[in-house]
Amino acid sequence: DAGVIQSPRHEVTEMGQEVTLRCKPISGHNSLFWYRQTMMRGLELLIYFNNNVPIDDSGMPEDRFSAKMPNASFSTLKIQPSEPRDSAVYFCASSLLGQVTDTQYFGPGTRLTVL
């Protein structure tokens, strides 16, 4: 059974460029989370979708970040323009119903380096 799929696994880009990260959640899950992991700040929730609708985007650092979920099987996180401080590992996770007691299943992450 396929888990959460993320692409690309690694992305190296130059400052000012647009970056798009992609996520395919586990089939049948109706909740999706985007996290960012850095050495300084640890693991932070960026945005939470339930039934394809953004419920909480309070963790999105600034307007340069945007996320969409056009359907139940696909989500994107876009950074435009990218900056060196955006360098981090970005994880997508999905859960069955989005309740806190549900297990969140994490993808392998996208390691983003902005030069």
Partner 1 sequence: AQSVTQLGSHVSVSEGALVLLRCNYSSSVPPYLFWYVQYPNQGLQLLLKYTSAATLVKGINGFEAEFKKSETSFHLTKPSAHMSDAAEYFCAVSEGGSNYKLTFGKGTLLTVNP
Q: Does 45 contact partner 1 by CB under 8 A?
A: yes
The DSSP-derived string for 99-113 is -TTSPPEE---EEEE
107 touching partner 1, by CB under 8 A: yes
Distance CA 104, CA 88 (A): 20
Of positions 1, 42, 62, 70, contacts partner 1 by CB under 8 A: 42
**87 is a site residue for partner 1 (CB under 8 A):** no
Find the binder of partner 1 among 31, 34, 46, 67 (CB under 8 A): 31
Residue ranges in contact with partner 1 by CB under 8 A: 4, 31, 42-43, 45, 48, 55-56, 91, 93, 98-101, 103-109
